[in-house]
């Protein structure tokens, strides 16, 4: 199986500056007849509090990014991906979709904080109006050795970072997610370190791949997928892709993730997919493809090495740490 789809605008990581990431991707959208931010983001009306109920059709249809139109495997039917979820705020089993419908996802405000010029609160609709909303088909690999392929709708994290204008001292982006006592029975399990937190380096955040997801299957993101806004990092184990994000912080301190805090030796900061490095308790060589029951070989960086391996090539760290 070949997963190397180098986007036409790919350039070596060492040459990527925030401006290059931004401008190169803009020209891709221009080539699609991209008419403007407001058109692509749909209802971006400032001050509009409530506009996108979870599960409704996303209108108008956002452009499909040609670099991520095909993930090399069939798209997982929503019946499978939408009924087999990890969202511990609603319970530790996979059947949380019904309980998650209580999640209050609309309206939604994001707090941008820390080492950046745009610290403050912004409504999700106002943010979407500034971002190049598009569709991308990505593979997802959970550390539990199952995988899926989903057509996300959202915008590159790199665009949000660039808009927020981090200061030169900012080295990490930290994501914190909703804790809502009324709707989330899972947070009563007080031995878990709520809220769910995750993070990436600024360099990772500026890579073109990280995607801020607000929709899937042509619809506003259904609640069990982490409505109304979640992250997707296709080359990392799924636990890095935090759901229902409320705060995005720019910081000089490496964030400690929810799973890292619980069991750092098994779920570390980097968590890049590698079939040759087993989890302490199971192999990572194969994955069970949701919706089919097939087993497939797992790919290094989940098949996205052409895009991301350069991030780690020059890093001075214990190489084992890259995989957990
Ligand atoms: N807030 C929050 N985000 C989360 C999780 C979670 O329990 N809570 N689980 C993670 C894990 S382990 C995976 S595999 C993915 C699952 O996303 P999905 O249910 O949309 O497939 O979400 C990740 N993000
Ligand atoms: Mo996961």
Q: Report DSSP letters for 272-294, one per residue.
A: B--TTS--SSS--SEEEETTT--
114 and 226, same structural domain?
yes
User: Does residue 239 line the site of ligand 1, with CB under 6 A?
Assistant: yes
143 and 32, same structural domain?
no
**CB hemisphere CA count around 4 (13 angstroms):** 3
287 and 243, same structural domain?
yes
Query: Which ligand lies nearest to the CA atom of residue 86 in the structure?
Result: 1
28 and 71, same structural domain?
no
Please indicate, yes or no, if residue 50 is contained in any of the structural domains: no
Please write the tens of the pLDDT for every residue from 178-220.
999 999 999 999 999 999 999 999 999 999 999 999 999 999 9
Q: How far is the CA of 123 from the centre of ligand 2 (A)?
A: 28
Using CA positions, which residue lies closest to atom 10 of ligand 1?
239
Q: How far is the CA of 280 from the centre of ligand 2 (A)?
A: 15
CATH code (residue 212):
3.90.420.10
pLDDT at residue 13 tops 80: no
Q: What is the CA radius of gyration of the chain?
A: 18
Q: Which atom of ligand 1 is nearest to the CA of 178?
A: 1
94 and 162, same structural domain?
yes
Please write the tens of the pLDDT for every residue from 76-111.
999 999 999 999 999 999 999 999 999 999 999 999
Q: Which residue has the tokens 């997801």?
A: 213
Please indicate, yes or no, if residue 131 is contained in any of the structural domains: yes
pLDDT tier, 34 (very low <50, low <70, confident <90, very high otherwise): very low
Please indicate, yes or no, if residue 100 is contained in any of the structural domains: yes
For 323, the token pair is 């995989």
Using CA positions, which residue lies closest to atom 12 of ligand 1?
239
Using CA positions, which residue lies closest to atom 14 of ligand 1?
238
If phi > 0 it is left, if psi is from -120 to 50 it is alpha, else beta; for residue 226 that is left
What pLDDT score was predicted for residue 99?
98
Q: How far is the CA of 31 from the centre of ligand 1 (A)?
A: 34
Please indicate, yes or no, if residue 126 is contained in any of the structural domains: yes
Please indicate, yes or no, if residue 314 is contained in any of the structural domains: yes
What is the pTM (predicted TM-score) of this model? 0.86
97 and 10, same structural domain?
no
Residue 272: CB partners within 8 Å, gap ≥ 6? 235, 236, 237, 301, 308, 312, 322, 323
89 and 219, same structural domain?
yes
155 and 27, same structural domain?
no
Neighbours of 47 (CB within 10 A): 7
Q: How far is the CA of 212 from the centre of ligand 1 (A)?
A: 14
Domain, as residue range, for 8: 1-45
184 and 140, same structural domain?
yes
Please indicate, yes or no, if residue 273 is contained in any of the structural domains: yes
269 and 161, same structural domain?
yes
Q: Which atom of ligand 1 is nearest to the CA of 148?
A: 21
More confident residue, 5 or 62: 62
Q: How far is the CA of 92 from the centre of ligand 2 (A)?
A: 11
Total domain count, the chain: 2
């Amino acid at each position: 199986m070949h997963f190397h789809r180098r986007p036409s605008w790919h350039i070596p990581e060492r040459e990527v500056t925030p401006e290059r990431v931004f401008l190169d991707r803009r020209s891709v959208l221009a080539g699609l007849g991209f008419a403007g931010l407001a058109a692509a983001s749909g209802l971006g009306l400032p001050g509009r509090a409530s506009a996108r109920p979870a599960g409704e059709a996303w209108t108008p249809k956002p452009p499909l990014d040609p670099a991520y139109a095909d993930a090399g495997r069939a798209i997982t039917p929503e019946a499978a991906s939408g009924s087999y979820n990890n969202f511990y705020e609603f319970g530790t089993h996979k059947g949380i979709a019904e309980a998650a419908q209580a999640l209050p996802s609309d309206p939604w405000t994001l707090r941008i904080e820390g080492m950046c010029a745009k610290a403050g609160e912004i409504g999700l609709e106002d943010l979407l109006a500034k971002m190049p909303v598009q569709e991308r088909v990505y593979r997802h690999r959970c550390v539990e050795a199952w995988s899926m392929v989903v057509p996300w709708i959202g915008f590159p994290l790199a665009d949000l970072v660039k808009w927020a204008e981090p200061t030169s001292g900012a080295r990490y982006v930290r994501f914190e997610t909703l804790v809502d006592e009324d709707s989330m029975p899972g947070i009563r399990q007080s031995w878990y370190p709520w809220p769910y937190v995750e993070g990436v380096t600024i360099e990772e955040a500026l890579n073109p791949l990280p995607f801020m997801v607000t929709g899937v299957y042509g619809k506003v993101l259904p609640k069990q997928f982490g409505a109304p806004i979640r992250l997707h990092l296709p080359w990392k184990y799924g636990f890095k892709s935090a759901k229902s994000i409320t705060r995005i912080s720019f910081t000089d301190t490496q964030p400690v993730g929810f799973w890292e805090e619980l069991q750092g030796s098994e779920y570390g900061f980097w968590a890049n997919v590698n079939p040759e490095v087993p989890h302490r308790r199971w192999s990572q060589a194969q994955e069970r493809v949701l919706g089919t029951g097939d087993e497939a070989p797992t790919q290094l960086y989940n098949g996205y090495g052409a895009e991301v391996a350069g991030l780690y090539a020059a890093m001075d760290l214990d190489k084992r740490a890259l995989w957990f």
